[in-house]
Amino acid sequence: MKKKNLTKIIFYIVGALVSLIYLSPFYILFVNSFKTKREILENTLGLPTIWTFDNFKIASEKLSFFCDDQTLSIIGAFGSSLFNSLVVTIASVIIIIIFTSMAAWMLVRIKSKISTFIFFMLIAAMLIPFQAVMLPLVAIAGKLDLQNRGGLVFMYLGFSSSLSVFLYHGFIKGLPISIEEAAIVDGCSPWQVFWKIVFPTLKPIHITVAALNVIAIWNDFLLPQLMINEKGLQTIPLKMFFFFGGYSKQWHLAMAGLLLAIIPVIIFYFFAQKHIVEGITQGSNK
């Protein structure tokens, strides 16, 4: 019994140390966002002697230098990239949930060699690195005039489908088919069965798929960089790239700008984290 308790204590200590290691970058980012440049160089890890919010104001002003319209207000300058990120992320996640849940449902319910082949092809697609297809992707996107927000959403649907279908597939396999059969006997079409019976039942895995894709799309830099050419359409990661590149020596402003960029996704993850684990666990158990 004592040996068991000692093992638990060791695991707790190791877990706490690992957590501190993972949280240390966020701590450094947060405390240095409220310091002056001099104080950052003198004491990077310590708390600020005087907490100042001027860095955030100046960082927002500097962001306006990268907007097309120099008459934009400070809030509008940062708000344009925030709006672009919100539009791309929300639209992409909604489309991903709708299309991949339908695809996974059909792949589970239609038991044939073709459905099995399609499913394994989707799984195999997860092994292909993005760098292997990014150059042909840019060429095709240019020819089809997809270098805009709509094209970006379309690309995210393609790149996120494999993982999303995999998660939905595992969850749907555990759902009883008897409810769907009863709905068909009552006169429901396959379309009605999906939207009225299946889709609401998938709520736990909906949240998991949404959370994983929101975090990935919001923080993505490479695909928007390849697809977006106009400054007015830049997402937050692109905006922060140009900002950080221009003010990399002004660490207090760079830290404040980065903190502004990650606050929305941190808030989202804070509310969705339990559903991520819950959805994946239920899918694996089923």
For residue range 57-69, list pLDDT tens digits in order.
777 666 553 444 4
Distance CA 257, CA 139 (A): 33
| pLDDT at position 47 | 84
Q: Is the pLDDT of residue 281 over 80?
A: no
| pLDDT at position 66 | 41
Q: Which of 68, 96, 97, 99 is nearest to 84 (CA)?
A: 68
Q: Is the pLDDT of residue 93 over 50?
A: yes
Residues 220-243: tens digit of each pLDDT = 888 888 888 777 778 888 877 776
Q: What is the mean pLDDT of the chain?
A: 80
Mean per-residue pLDDT, 86-91: 91
Q: Please give the structure tokens belonging to residue 223.
A: 């695909």
- What amino acid occupies position 91? A
Q: Is the pLDDT of residue 172 over 80?
A: yes
Per CATH, the homologous superfamily of domain 56-285 is MetI-like (1.10.3720.10)
Helix extents (H) in 51-130: 54-63, 74-109, 113-125
